[in-house]
Amino acid sequence: MQLCLSIIIDPSFFTSFIMSPLLFLILVPLIAILLIMCGAPSRFMSLAATGLNVALGLFLFFHFDTRAGEWQYLQKISIVPQLGLNFTLGADGLSLIMLVLTTLVSFAAIWSTPKIEHSPALFYICLLFISTGLVGAFSSLDTFFLYSFHEIALIPVFIMIGIWGSGDRQKAAWKATLYLGAGSFIVLLGIIALYLAAPINLRSFDFRVMKELSQSNISHPASWIYLLLVVGLGTLVSLFPFHSWAPSTYSSAPAPTAMLHAGVLKKFGLYAFIRLALPIFPSAIAKFSTLLLLLLICNILYIGYVTMAQKRLDFTIAYSSVMHMGTIFLGLIAFNRLSISGAVLLMFGHGLSVAALFCLCAALYRRTNTLDYKDLGGLARLIPKISLLFGFGTMASIGLPGFTNFAGEMLIFFGTTAAVIINKGSLSFIIAMIAALWGVVISAIYMLRAYRNVFFGPLSNIQRWESIKDLTFFEYAPASMLFLFLLITGIFPRLIVNLIHTALP
């Protein structure tokens, strides 16, 4: 009680609400939630809140001082100073990229949401909680709050799958709960172990202090802490063999939920890996690089071939999302500025493209009531807008030049080549790079085949589709917005790369 009173009485607690734009990003969706609970129109309030956050996120993005670098927009509220626990907000280039991704996908997910038949207020509240948790996680400089905000974002996902999902939604919800709950718990153990293993003078939850740690000044075996983080974060990212929860989750989840989770929430594990593992455990990364390279090769090749065998459009997109995590992990394990910049760039591009594809997939399902390839075909002549936008999504997913995904993959390949040279022709890196290059071919095969099966060839059933309607403006605009940002950052990747470099040593 005394702690709460001291926080409330502290004048800085009140000024922080006005002075910190990052705190405002967190508060906007929370205020919208309160207004919806008081009876305000749920869709309007959700669109207004997420739209405002898009504007603010882009404002912070373009006003970030890349010359100064480091952390900006800082705000600190002491919680338990004796334990080094503070509610500290700040953003560097990496944080801002993830915040812009979060606000864009959140806005698109709510904008593309169709009419909800039952409990629409609860549906939008869950979406806003996911957005709040993501913004909070990417704005926090303390691992405690980063983890806590992630859990705030994760819990509504299970609720939404169980209530508004499709197919065997209960099984999918429980499977996701067990896998992601276990992964989150392992991450928590790793964070606690890292805190306790640090010397007293470096014992803090703050990233800026934890970056000073190294394996030489950690009292416990650092390799075990690193492996805890790899297993926990790998589960959240769907790294092989902890991946099986993802396809069923995305295929059963409501489209806005799949957009937010596959597009943004899954990137939390990669973001935390960059914040915690890369600066603190460089020796452990080198020591276990062969193991991680083997796992990411399985993500690329094994999951890639599984994706080729899928008979439904939603499962193809879901498995492809898992596959691309292997390429991003390759950029992180190569562990140089080129490869890490490519990994972050691909995180941003993949987040936008997979969100747009799930959005279009849901729009197609509402019109056809099926996503089986055997039931579809030749729809481009009847619904050209969906066909055009899905073509953009296909080309972005396979890394066509002009999209952000291409720039990210190229930097990863260049960075991996540098890692091969630095490691004097390391066989494991050579094999991983060849696998990643072959993965580009695999992704082209399954995405182009999916595009052909759905939109080209003879109409599968002319009478069945004769009354089908194309996208309305409110369905066309959200995906178009995401593709617009994919093209802008794909043609001008330095908009993002310059920010990434401010966050790298």
Terminus-to-terminus CA distance in the chain, angstroms?
Answer: 41
pLDDT in tens, 123-146: 999 999 999 999 999 999 888 889
Buried b (16+ CB within 10 A) or exposed e, 240-253: bebbebbbbbbbbb
Question: Exposed/middle/buried for 369, CB within 10 Å: 0-12, 13-18, 19+?
Answer: exposed
pLDDT in tens, 21-51: 888 999 999 999 999 999 899 999 999 999 9
Look at the block and give the residue holding tokens 């957005």.
131
> Residues with Cβ < 8 Å from 469, sequence gap 6 or more?
367, 383
DSSP 459-487: -S-HHHHTT-----HHHHHHHHHHHHHHH
pLDDT in tens, 450-489: 999 998 877 766 667 777 888 888 888 999 999 999 999 9
The mean pLDDT of 53-75, rounded to a whole number, is 87
Q: How far is CA 381 from CA 123, 136, 358, 363, 472, in A?
A: 34, 44, 21, 16, 16
What is the pLDDT at residue 57?
A: 92
Rounded Cα distance, 182 and 178, in Å = 6
Rounded Cα distance, 367 and 383, in Å = 10
What is the pLDDT at residue 459?
A: 75
Report how far Cα 238 is from the mean position of its chain's Cα atoms: 12
Look at the block and give the residue holding tokens 């990052």.
22
The mean pLDDT of 347-371, rounded to a whole number, is 92
H or E element at residue 8: helix 2-9
The mean pLDDT of 269-291, rounded to a whole number, is 87
What is the pLDDT at residue 14?
A: 46
H or E element at residue 166: none
Predicted confidence band of residue 204 (pLDDT cuts 50, 70, 90): confident
Q: How far is CA 495 from CA 106, 333, 348, 500, 501, in A?
A: 21, 24, 12, 9, 11
CB-side neighbour CA atoms (13 Å) of 342: 30
- Phi, psi for 461 (deg, rounded to 5): -155, 95
3-state helix, strand, coil in the chain (%, to 5): 75, 5, 20
What is the pLDDT at residue 5?
A: 40
What is the pLDDT at residue 9?
A: 41
Coil, helix or strand for 399?
coil
Q: Where are the chain's structural domains?
A: 288-505
DSSP 229-274: HHHHHHHHHT-TTS-THHHHHHHHS-HHHHHHIIIIITHHHHHHII
Predicted confidence band of residue 98 (pLDDT cuts 50, 70, 90): very high
Rounded Cα distance, 304 and 103, in Å = 30
Q: How far is CA 394 from CA 91, 360, 381, 445, 471, in A?
A: 32, 11, 18, 11, 18
Q: What's the pTM value of the predicted model, to 2 decimals?
A: 0.91
- Can the peptide bond before residue 279 be classed as cis, meaning omega within 30 degrees of 0? no
The mean pLDDT of 275-297, rounded to a whole number, is 86
Q: Which among 124, 100, 116, 114 has a CA at the least distance from the CA of 352? A: 100
R_g (Cα) of the chain, nearest Å: 22
CB-side neighbour CA atoms (13 Å) of 170: 0
